[in-house]
């Protein structure tokens, strides 16, 4: 994997871990049964990290193909990632020891981490420009 891509994946992975810890602590504070929620967050976050890494690998490989082949390859890999998410949600629904809401919170962690990261970066740039 390209060094810059690997660096970005590692940063997002660290962010997802921090997010999972925060959600875990909050669940211990506000939930009557925090363990299923914590298991759901961990389960969803692990799959979110896996999916993000698969996305990075897909994009890196897709640029080597012609446009038509790249689109077909990317679409197929997208379907694989969505099947993984569907299976995770299904397992979470069927398993009483895993909280579905926690799983979904873990699964959306990538989007939240990237959004917060971009928000923080834009605020820091804004401060530097105002100095």
Query: How big is the CA angle at 112 (ends 102 and 100), to the nearest 5 degrees?
Result: 15
Q: Where are the domains of the chain?
A: 3-130
Per-residue pLDDT at 131 exceeds 80: no
What pLDDT score was predicted for residue 96?
A: 94
pLDDT tens string 62-84: 999 999 999 999 999 999 999 99
Reported as a pLDDT band with limits 50, 70 and 90, residue 127 is: confident
Query: Do you know the residue count of the chain?
Result: 131
| DSSP per position, the chain | --HHHHHHHHHHHHHHHHHHHHHHHHHHHH-SSHHHHHHHHHHHHHHHHHHHHHHHHHHHHHTTS-HHHHHHHHHHHHHHHHHHHHHHHHHHHH-TTS-HHHHHHHHTHHHHHHHHHHHHHHHHHHHHHH-
Reported as a pLDDT band with limits 50, 70 and 90, residue 129 is: confident
Query: Taking the model in full, what pTM does it have?
Result: 0.88
């Amino acid at each position: 994997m390209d060094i810059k891509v690997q660096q970005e994946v590692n940063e997002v992975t660290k962010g997802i871990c921090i997010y999972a810890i925060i959600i875990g602590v909050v669940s211990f504070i506000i939930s009557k049964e925090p363990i299923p929620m914590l298991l759901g967050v961990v389960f969803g976050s692990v799959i979110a990290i896996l999916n993000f890494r698969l996305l990075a690998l897909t994009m890196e490989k897709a640029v080597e193909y012609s446009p038509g082949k790249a689109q077909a390859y990317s679409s197929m890999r997208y379907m694989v990632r969505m099947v993984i998410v569907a299976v995770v949600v299904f397992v979470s629904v069927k398993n009483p020891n895993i909280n579905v809401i926690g799983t979904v919170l873990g699964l959306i962690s990538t989007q939240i981490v990237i959004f917060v990261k971009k928000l923080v970066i834009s605020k820091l740039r804004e401060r530097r420009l105002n100095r």
